[in-house]
Amino acid sequence: MKGQILKIFKREKRIVSGEALSSELGVSRVSIWKHVRKLQELGYNIIATTTGYRLIDSIDALFPWEFPDRESKIHFFPKVTSTMDVAGEFARKGCSHFTVIIAGCQKKGRGRLKRIWHSSEGGLYFTIVLRPQIPPVLSLRLNFAASLVLAQLLRQMFCIDAMVKWPNDILVNNRKISGMLSEIEAESDMVSFLNIGFGINVNNDPAAKEPAATSLRCILGKKISRKQLLSEFLDKFESYINNVNLDNVIPEWKKYTITLNRRVKVVTSHDISEGVAIDVDENGTLILELADGSIKKVIYGDCFHI
């Protein structure tokens, strides 16, 4: 109902009477008044006059009704520990494929290798629950698909030189703008769910806590609509994974990576290696050539360009 009321406000661009809203939407004027009051409480700038209501300007809200085509699968929480925790609970309770958990901020945002992901207001924090019918070994390709689609979208929407750093970071001018984290559960060699969490620095300023990070607002010098970015990303990512042959993901991802053919330090949960990143195989494993000429394969870790 809230989405429908907002749609009418945006269409009319003038004062709309409670009576007109109630007859178009088939609910009582009291019900309209309650919804409008709730929208005002949520931060929407709606004025109420003796003749009706008017939306003064749009806000960058991430409530489910802001995504009308996928409203039933979007869940927004103003503050959570981590969207990964919430998405895990939803997935174990059987939520459907492509359910999206969004948070305004996170108290315990997690990064890879148990790092903290600082998650203040203004950033975009969400986790998508996927239920691909694939064996776990192929699932990493979906993480690479996610970083590929996001890098392409950032280039297209903002004309910025977004590049991917193994495994799934997105950098602009060598500074991190987005990171991804995934959690998987499998049953009898089939993925039961794969949750991919995205942290995108949009209107927040992460540099104080993470000097090597930046945000879209810092790069572009203006506020960016998180809703538009998220909406376009969800459409593009969903369509990509529905249509792509997973064999094509890594070759495409390689066109946007800055990791290959350079010296790197790779940190995993149990060791640190240095070498030249010579390739990424079809499942996303990083192939390193070490100083003694031997080859080391790293499935999961963090990579630092040196």
- Where in 58-87 is the site for ligand BTN (CB under 6 A)? 82-84
Q: Which is nearer to ligand BTN, 141 or 176 (CB)?
A: 176
Q: What minimum distance in Å lies between the beta carbon of 108 and ligand BTN? A: 7
One residue of 125, 166, 233, 253 binding ligand BTN per CB under 6 A: 125
Applying CB under 6 A, does 139 fall inside the site for ligand BTN?
Answer: no
Applying CB under 6 A, does 141 fall inside the site for ligand BTN?
Answer: no
Q: Which is nearer to ligand BTN, 39 or 127 (CB)?
A: 127
Applying CB under 6 A, does 226 fall inside the site for ligand BTN?
Answer: no
Applying CB under 6 A, does 99 fall inside the site for ligand BTN?
Answer: no
Q: Residues touching ligand BTN: how many (CB under 6 A)?
A: 20
Applying CB under 6 A, does 193 fall inside the site for ligand BTN?
Answer: no
Applying CB under 6 A, does 122 fall inside the site for ligand BTN?
Answer: no
Q: Is the dihedral of CA 199, 270, 164, 139 positive or negative?
A: negative
Query: What residues make contact with ligand BTN under the rule CB under 6 A?
Result: 82-84, 106, 109-112, 115, 117, 125-127, 169, 179-181, 197-199
